[in-house]
Structure 1
Amino acid sequence: MTTRKLSAGHCRQLGATPEGHGTNFAIWGRLAKSMELLLFSSEKDEHPEVILLKEQEYHSGYYWHVHVSGVNAGQLYAWRVKEALSNRPGTHFDPEKALLDPYGRRIVLSENYDRQLSAKSGSNLHCCAKNVVTDLRHYDWEDDHYPRHPLSRSVIYEMHVRGFTQDPSSGLPDYLRGTYAGVIEKIPYLQELGITAVELLPIFQFDPQDARPGKSNYWGYSPIGFFAPHAEYASVGSHLGVLDEFRDMVKALHKANIEVILDVVYNHTAEGGDDGPVLCFRGLDNDAFYTLDENYHSTNYSGCGNTLDASHPMTKKMITDSLRFWREEMHVDGFRFDLAAILSRDGYGQPMNDPPTIRTIDGDYSLADTKLFAEAWDAGGLYLVGRMVGDRWREWNGRFRDDVRRFIKGDNGMVSAFATRLIGSPDIYHPEYSDPYKSLNFIACHDGFTLWDLVSYNRKHNEANGEDNRDGSNDNYSWNHGVEGPTGDAKINALRLRQAKNFFVINLMSVGTPMIQMGDETLRTQRGNNNVYCQDNPISWLNWQPELYGREMLRFVTELLRYRAVLKEEPRSFFSLEQALENATIDWHGVQPFQPDWSENSHVLGLSAYDPTHDVDVYAFFNAWWEPLTVTLPPPAHSPHGHWKRVCDTGLLPPADITPLGCDYAEILSSEYKTASRSVVVLICQNHSQ
C-alpha cells in the first residue's frame, strides 16, 4: 500500500496528467468495483507501490480518478481491476493482471516483457508493459507551422520510419539508424526528390512480439496504445526522450515544407483473439472496446484477431481524443486510417448507414484543416470505396491500382477502365458531388509487391515468412517479362525499367493525389515477398546505394516530380497535365486522331486536353501493345499552327526520356510520332502568346 498524500482528483482529462505538486490519474472502468494504481520504481520492479481506490470520492460515473502528490514526469505506472461488479460473459477481468492506461502517452516494453505470459491468467508483474507519466507542456516548437499543401499539388511518400534509414548503406551512425532522428538526417533527400508529405507506417506504440515464433512485427499494425509514439524508433533511451525526438522530427519536416501524415490503426489492437494477451483494453472492459459475436467471442473483421467497437461511446471518444492529441500536441498534418471501413460497423459488427465515429471525425472542428485518408475496406469484406460517409474523406483507390496494373501488363479489355482511372474515377466519385481529389492514386504500397517486384515476378515468394507461402495476396496483376526474379538479360531489365517509368508517369499525371512507396524511386526489391510484415531486415529496408537501374529510375522520378509538386524556389510557370484532365473537355484518340479504340483487344489510348492556367495544350499516348506504333498526332486545339514539344517518352534512352523542368523541349515537326512498344509519351504545345 501507499503512504503518499492522495486526493480525489478528477476525470476531466483521462490518462496521467501532471498537476500541482503531483499527478492526476483517470481511467475508464465502468464495470470495476475497485481499482488499483500501481507505481513502479523501475522497469524490472515486480513489487510496485499499490494505491487502492474503492471509496466513492475516487469514482465518478464510469471513471476512476485520483491525484497523487509527489508523482512527477518519469514515474512508471499501470492499473489493475481489483474487483469487478460483474463477471458476465465476454469479460476478462483478472485482479492480478497489470494493465496499461488506454490514454498513456508513453509505454515501456522492458527487457522482461513477455507477450505470451500476458495471455495466461494470474500476475504478470514480472513481465508487464508499463506506462510513464509525461509532461508535454515545456517543449519548444519554435515557429513551427503546418505546410498545408493543397491535394492538387501534393505527392505522398509512404515511408517506414525504421526501414527508411536502418540499412547500413544509409551512412548514418548506428545509434541514428532506424530512428526519428535518422529521418531528420535524410530530409535533404526527400526535398530533392520533390515529395510534399511523408505518410508514416504506424508509429503508435506496437507490440514487436505480435508475430510468429522467431519473427518480429515490423510494419507496426499491432497497437497497444493510441497516444504513445513507438519508443523503439527513438535514438535516445530515456523514458521521456522519445516524445521530444518525435516532435523534433515533425518540426524539422515542417521546416523543409514537408507534411507528416500518420498511418493510424483504430480497427484492432495487439491483444489478438480470445486467446491473446490481456494488456489493456480486454482487461478493462472487453465489451466496450471490442465487438463481440452472439457467443461473446471476439469478431475478426480486421484479420488480426479482434475488432475495435468504434460505435461504443468510450471507444469513439478514445479515437477522437487520440486524433486531437496527435494534431494539437504532436503537430501532425493528417491521418491515413487503416481498414477504415471497420469504423462504420456497430457493436455487433454490422455495417451502419450513418456511422457516428466517421461522422464525428469528418466534422470535428479541431481536425478541420487535417488531411483524412481512408483505406475504405476491411478484412470482413466491407468495401466502401466511393461510399465513405462525410465530404472530407479521401480514399485509397484500389481500383486505380488494379486497373492501371492490368492495362500496363497487357490484359485485354482494360482500355475503358484505364481511361476512367486517368480522369479521377468518375464511376466511383461522381464529379457532381465530389471534388477531383477524392481519389488517392497509387500503384504500389507497403502491402504487396514493390514497383520493381511488380515487373519482376509473376507470383509471390513469401516463404521467408514461415507460413508456407499462404500469406499475402495472390491477386497482384504482375508480370515478370519473361524471367522470374533477377536476371542478367539486359533486354528484360530495360523493359522492366520502362514499365516502371510508365507506372510513375501514369500515377503522377492522373486526376487525384498520387502516393508513392518508399524505395520505388530507386527500384527497391523485396525478392518477390509481397507481405513483409515480419521482415525486419534488408528485405524491407531502403538500400541507399542502388544499382545502375535504380539510379537511373531515381533521376527520372526526380525530374518527373518537379512537374507536380510545390517547389518554393520555383514559380508555378509549368504546365500541369493533371490540371488539364481535371478542368477541360478531353478528346480521346487511337493511332489516328479522334478515333479511340475501346474494343476488347485494344491496348492503346491517346488523349488531348487543355491546361487553362498555363494556356497549354497537352497530348499523351499510352502504348501497352508489345510492338512499336506510329501514331498520327492531332493538331493542338488552341495553337492550330503550333508544334508539339516532347516532355517525356519512356521509350527513349536516358536522358532523352524526360525533359528537365525549365529546359527546352524537343520540337516535333512531323504530324506522325513513332512510339516504342510498352511506352508512354507526353507532349505539350504552348500558346504563341506566351
Structure 2
Amino acid sequence: MQIRRGPPLESSATSSRSSPLGATVVEGGVNFSLFSRTAAAVELVFFDRESDSTPSRVIRLDPATNRTYHYWHVFVPGVSPGQLYGYRVDGPSDPARGLRFDPAKLLLDPYARGVVIPTTYDCEAAKREGDNAATAMKGVVVDPSKYDWEGDLPLSRPSSRTIIYEMHVRGFTRHPSSGVGEQARGTYAGLVEKIPYLRELGITAVELLPVFAFDAQACPPGLVNYWGYQPVSFFAPHPAYSSRRDALGPVDEFRDLVKALHRAGIEVILDVVFNHTAEGDRTGPTLSFRGIDNPTYYILEEEGARYADYTGCGNTLNGNHPIVRRMIVDSLRYWVEEMHVDGFRFDLASILARDSAGQPLPNPPVLWDIESEPALAGTKLIAEAWDAAGLYQVGSFVGDAWKEWNGRFRDDVRDFFRGEPGAVRRLADRMVGSPEIYGGEGREAEQSVNFVTCHDGFTLNDLVSYNQKHNQENGEDNRDGANDNRSWNCGVEGPTDDPAVEALRNRQVKNFLAVTMMSLGVPMILMGDEVRRTQHGNNNAYCLDDETTWFDWTLLAKHPDVHRFVSLLAARRLLRDVENERRRVSLNTLLQEAKKAWHGVKQYAPDWGDGSHSVALGAELRSEGIHFHLILNAYWEPLEFELPNLGDGQPWRRWIDTALEPPHDIAPWQAAPTVPGDTYRVESRSVVMLFTAARPDANPSTRDL
C-alpha cells in the first residue's frame, strides 16, 4: 500500500508513547500520538510555513514499532513549540462501508493545541482528489506550560450571582466605531480593551460564541461562516481572532483575554460544539476526523454509507463512542486546566444523549463522564437541551450539575408581551424559576438559564420591530431561519419615524430586560441588546460578517436610557444592598427566599384566564423587613392595581416603571421615590417594580463580589 512521498522518508523514531494523545512537548523533543483503528499506514508531516506545499520533513510510522493497539505514536527529537505539522493516513477506501481514507490529504491532528489557517486555505481543495498541502490547515506544537498565569484561576462564581452576556469575539469590536485600533479590532486583544464597558454594564460572565478553530468557508458561496459553528478542532483557539500572526500567538492571546477578564471579575464561558464538525456530509471536505477514522468519529447509517444528521449540518459526532467520549472530556479538561475557562455552553447538547444508532439513551455515558470528571468540578455546565432532529429535553436533561437554556422561558415571555391568550399563567411560572418544568427535580432555580434573545434569532430590537424574518442577504430566498419568532412589530414593520411606535418599542425592550433580570434563575442577555442593536430583521445571520452582525458602538449615544436601564438592573440584582445585623443578601436571594403571592388588579385575585393580560407578584421577607410588588401589564390599556396595606408605616417606593420617561423609568435604589395612595396606575404594556425596606436609605456595598 503506497503513501504519497515528500522528501526522502526517515526511519521511524522509537521510545515513544501512546499517551497522551496529540503533540506533547517532553525533554529533548515532542511525542506524537494519533488514534486510528482501521488505518494501514500513517505519516507525520512537518512544514516550515503555513502555505508550504512541500513538507520540510516526513516521518513514516512503522506499524511494528510505532503502533500500540490502535495508537500510532512517535518521538521526534529536536522539535520545539511552534512546529507546524499534519498527518497523511492510508487505509481502505470504501465509502459504502464508511471507510474514507485518502493518503493525498493533509489531516489535522484531532488533539492539536494550535491551528494555522493559510491565506490560501481552500475548503474545495479538501473535497477534490489530489494533494492539498498548500491550502490545508495545519497543526501547531504547543507547550501549555510556557505561559505565566500570574496566579490566575477560574473564578468559581456561584450561579445565583451570575449574569451572562452572550457575545461574539469578532463582532464585539470589529465595527469602526469601537475605538479599538485597526490591528486589534475583532480579536481577543480587542475584547480586552472593552472590558471596562463590560464591568460598567454589570455582567459577571461572557459566553463566547465558538472560539474553537473552525472552517469559515463552511457556508453558502460568497458568504462566510461568521458564528463559528463548524469546528475543525476541539483544542485550538480560532487563529483568525488573534491580532498576532505567529503560530503560537492565538493560544497566548486567548489566555491573555481570560486572565484580563478574571482580573475584572468576569468569568469566561465557551459555546462548544461537540455535535458535528465542518466535514459535513459525504460531499464535504476531508480535513481531519473523516480521513483518520471515519466510523469512530461519526454516527453512520446504511451500513456506513451515509452520515446521520441530527444537527442540520450534514453529520453527527459519535459522542458516546469511547474514543470520542475521551476526546470530549480531554478537550474540556484542557480548556479548564490549561486555558482557565470557567464554564461551557453545549450547542445542541441533546445530541450527546444519542447512541451510535441515534437513539436517545436514559443515561448517556458521555454526559456522565463530563459531570463526574474531577477536573470539571465547579465548572459551569450549560446545556442547549434540544437538537435539530426533534429531541427536546428542557426540564429532563440528564445529570445533577447541568443548567439548561430555558427555551420555554423565551417563548412564554415573548407570548405574554405580545398579548397572546393564555400566556399569564405560563409567565408567572417562568418568573419564579419555572417550577412547572424543574420543580420535580428538587433543583435550585439557577438550573434555568433565562433568556429572551440569543445569537440564534431576532435581536431584542428586532423582536419588537419585525413580524417576519428578513433573511434575503443569506442567499437562500428567505427560506432559512425560524418562522416561529413570537415577535410583534408594534404596528410597523421595520424602522419608523413614528414617535409613538418608537416609544412603545423602547418600552417593550425594557419590559423584556426587566423580566429577564428579575426572574429567578440565571439571566442571559445578548450582545448589543442593551443599546438596541439591530440585524434589520435577519434572524439567522450566521453567514454575515459585516455591520449587520457587528456591535455598532454609536448606538450607545442613541439609546443611553436602555444601557442605563440594564446597568441598574444588573447592579441591583448582584449588590448586597440590603443589610441587617445578621447578613447581607442580594435581590435575587431575597426573591428566592421570600414568601410570594400572586395578585391581579385586586389583591390576592389573579386572573389566570385566557383573556387575561396582566399579573402582579408580591414578595415578602419579614426577616429582612423587605416587601416587593412587581406588576406586569401587557394589556393595551392602563390598569389600576391595588397595593397591599403593610400596616408598618413604610411607604411603597418605585424602583421601575417602564412607561415613564428616563431617568424616571428606573431609579437608583437608594433614591427611589415614594408612591402615595393605596393603588398604582400601570400604563399599557409596561412593568412596574415597587418595594419597601426597613432601611431604604442604606448605602449599597460596591465591593467586587
- TM, length-normalised to structure 1: 0.97
> Which of 127, 142, 145 is the matching residue for 1:134?
142
| 1:250 pairs with 2:237 | no
Hey, what's the Cα distance between the residues in 1 that align with 2:48 and 2:154? 39
Distance 1:476 1:684, change over 3 A: same
1:563 aligned residue: 572
1:531 aligned residue: 540
1:23 aligned residue: 30
Hey, what's the Cα distance between the residues in 2 that align with 1:615 and 1:621? 20
Hey, what's the Cα distance between the residues in 2 that align with 1:480 and 1:574? 42
1:688, CA displacement in angstroms? 6.9
Secondary structure, counterpart of 1:684 in structure 2: strand
Hey, what's the Cα distance between the residues in 2 that align with 1:574 and 1:666? 23
1:664, CA displacement in angstroms? 2.3
Contact 1:605–1:623 under 8 Å retained in 2: yes
Contact 2:12–2:74 under 8 Å retained in 1: no
Contact 1:34–1:84 under 8 Å retained in 2: no
Hey, what's the Cα distance between the residues in 1 that align with 2:145 and 2:158? 31
| 1:491 pairs with 2:507 | no
Contact 1:629–1:677 under 8 Å retained in 2: yes
1:137, CA displacement in angstroms? 1.3
Give the aligned CA root-mean-square deviation in angstroms: 1.9
| 1:629 pairs with 2:639 | yes
Counting only pairs closer than 5 Å after superposition, residues 374-523 of structure 1 correspond to structure 2 as 374-430=383-439, 433-523=442-532
1:20, CA displacement in angstroms? 1.8
| 1:592 pairs with 2:602 | yes
Secondary structure, counterpart of 2:23 in structure 1: strand
Contact 2:93–2:99 under 8 Å retained in 1: no
Hey, what's the Cα distance between the residues in 2 that align with 1:164 and 1:241? 20
Letter in 2 for 1:487: T
> Which of 186, 201, 219 is the matching residue for 1:178?
186
Contact 1:309–1:315 under 8 Å retained in 2: yes
Contact 1:523–1:549 under 8 Å retained in 2: no
> Which of 69, 79, 93 is the matching residue for 2:77?
69
> Which of 260, 268, 273 is the matching residue for 2:268?
260
Contact 1:523–1:550 under 8 Å retained in 2: yes
Letter in 2 for 1:230: H
Contact 1:154–1:564 under 8 Å retained in 2: no
2:691 aligned residue: 684
| 1:188 pairs with 2:200 | no
Distance 1:268 1:684, change over 3 A: same
1:567, CA displacement in angstroms? 8.1
* 1:652-686 CA distance string (max 9 Å, x none): 1111111113x322111200111111110101111
1:573, CA displacement in angstroms? 8.7
1:611, CA displacement in angstroms? 3.6
Secondary structure, counterpart of 1:562 in structure 2: helix
1:675 aligned residue: 682
Counting only pairs closer than 5 Å after superposition, residues 168-247 of structure 1 correspond to structure 2 as 168-247=176-255
Letter in 2 for 1:125: A
Unaligned runs of 5+ in 1: none
* 1:413-466 CA distance string (max 9 Å, x none): 111111010111111102562111110000100000000000000010000000
1:294, CA displacement in angstroms? 2.7
Contact 2:80–2:141 under 8 Å retained in 1: yes
Hey, what's the Cα distance between the residues in 1 that align with 2:246 and 2:76? 23
* Aligned residue pairs, count: 686
Hey, what's the Cα distance between the residues in 2 that align with 1:522 and 1:118? 42
1:550, CA displacement in angstroms? 1.9
Q: Which moved more, 1:354-363 or 1:69-78?
A: 69-78
1:635, CA displacement in angstroms? 2.0
* 1:128-169 CA distance string (max 9 Å, x none): 211111112120000213222211111000010000000010
Secondary structure, counterpart of 1:65 in structure 2: strand
Distance 1:566 1:641, change over 3 A: closer
Distance 1:471 1:591, change over 3 A: same
2:369 aligned residue: 360
Secondary structure, counterpart of 1:606 in structure 2: strand
> Which of 86, 95, 102 is the matching residue for 1:78?
86
Unaligned runs of 5+ in 2: 1-7, 699-705
Secondary structure, counterpart of 1:80 in structure 2: strand
Distance 1:477 1:549, change over 3 A: farther
Secondary structure, counterpart of 1:428 in structure 2: helix
> Which of 336, 339, 346 is the matching residue for 1:330?
339
Hey, what's the Cα distance between the residues in 2 that align with 1:68 and 1:5? 9
Hey, what's the Cα distance between the residues in 1 that align with 2:344 and 2:261? 16
- TM, length-normalised to structure 2: 0.94
1:230, CA displacement in angstroms? 0.2
Contact 1:81–1:93 under 8 Å retained in 2: yes
Distance 1:47 1:80, change over 3 A: same
Secondary structure, counterpart of 1:502 in structure 2: helix
Hey, what's the Cα distance between the residues in 2 that align with 1:613 and 1:234? 52
Contact 1:629–1:676 under 8 Å retained in 2: yes
Hey, what's the Cα distance between the residues in 2 that align with 1:515 and 1:467? 30
1:150 aligned residue: 158
Secondary structure, counterpart of 2:270 in structure 1: strand
2:4 aligned residue: none
Distance 1:295 1:82, change over 3 A: closer
| 1:546 pairs with 2:555 | yes
1:121, CA displacement in angstroms? 2.7
| 1:610 pairs with 2:620 | yes
Secondary structure, counterpart of 1:579 in structure 2: helix
Q: Which moved more, 1:541-550 or 1:226-235?
A: 541-550
Secondary structure, counterpart of 2:426 in structure 1: helix
